[in-house]
């Protein structure tokens, strides 16, 4: 078997101490995640983050920085994911936009509200990325080269 990591992006969007999340159904359970998804062929990491955020939340965003790069092996299937986590500001909401399949909604939570619901995190990366964002530093978008 050939080992191949999956490249993913995630976006932390903050507005006055509240953060944009995706509520989705996975394995018949409602879970929370940052707007996130897989890099597609011929797409930049930045473009993927903007696209996934719009598709999953209905929000146009402007990327502002990079929190970090993470490796995570899912215990459920043994797949390794490389996640590039961006920060962004919300620009425009499209409330009538149909969200991706499986998405229930795009709620806003404070850090404490998210931390109080560990059973709902899609993975440990959900809180880890948020904690890293709050602890800083956030890196310049220039660290991501196309």
Residue 111 counted as domain residue: yes
**pLDDT at position 116:** 98
Residue 1 counted as domain residue: no
Give the integer Cα–Cα distance in Å for 9 and 39: 7
- The per-residue pLDDT for range 78-127, each reduced to its tens digit, is 889 999 999 999 999 999 999 999 999 999 999 999 999 999 999 999 99
**pLDDT at position 1:** 59
CATH number at residue 131: 3.90.79.10
Length of the chain: 146
Residue 27 counted as domain residue: yes
For the record, the structure tokens of 16 come out as 């006055």
**pLDDT at position 5:** 73
Share of the chain above pLDDT 90, in %: 88
Residues linked to residue 93 through DSSP beta bridges, in sequence order: 59
Number of domains into which the chain is organized? 1
Select from 85, 84, 65 the least CA-distant residue to 138. Answer: 65
- The per-residue pLDDT for range 27-86, each reduced to its tens digit, is 889 999 999 999 999 999 999 999 999 999 999 999 999 999 999 998 888 889 999 999
Are the CB atoms for 70 and 83 separated by under 8 Å? yes
**pLDDT at position 95:** 94
Give the integer Cα–Cα distance in Å for 97 and 87: 22
**pLDDT at position 128:** 97
**pTM for the whole thing?**
0.94
Domain extent, residue 34, equals: 6-143
3 pLDDT more than 90: no
């Amino acid at each position: 078997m050939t080992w191949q990591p999956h490249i993913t992006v995630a976006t932390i969007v903050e507005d006055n101490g509240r953060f944009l999340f995706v509520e989705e159904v996975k394995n018949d359970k409602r879970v929370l995640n940052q707007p996130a998804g897989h890099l597609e062929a011929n797409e930049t990491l930045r473009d993927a983050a903007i696209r996934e955020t719009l598709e999953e939340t209905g929000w146009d965003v402007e990327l502002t920085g990079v929190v970090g790069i993470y490796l995570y092996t899912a215990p459920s299937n043994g797949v390794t994911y490389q996640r590039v986590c961006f920060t962004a500001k919300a620009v425009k909401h499209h409330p009538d936009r149909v969200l991706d399949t499986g998405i229930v909604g795009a709620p806003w939570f404070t850090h404490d509200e998210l931390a109080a619901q560990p059973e709902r995190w899609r993975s440990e990366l959900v809180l880890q990325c948020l904690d890293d964002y709050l602890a800083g530093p956030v890196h310049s978008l220039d660290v991501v080269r196309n």
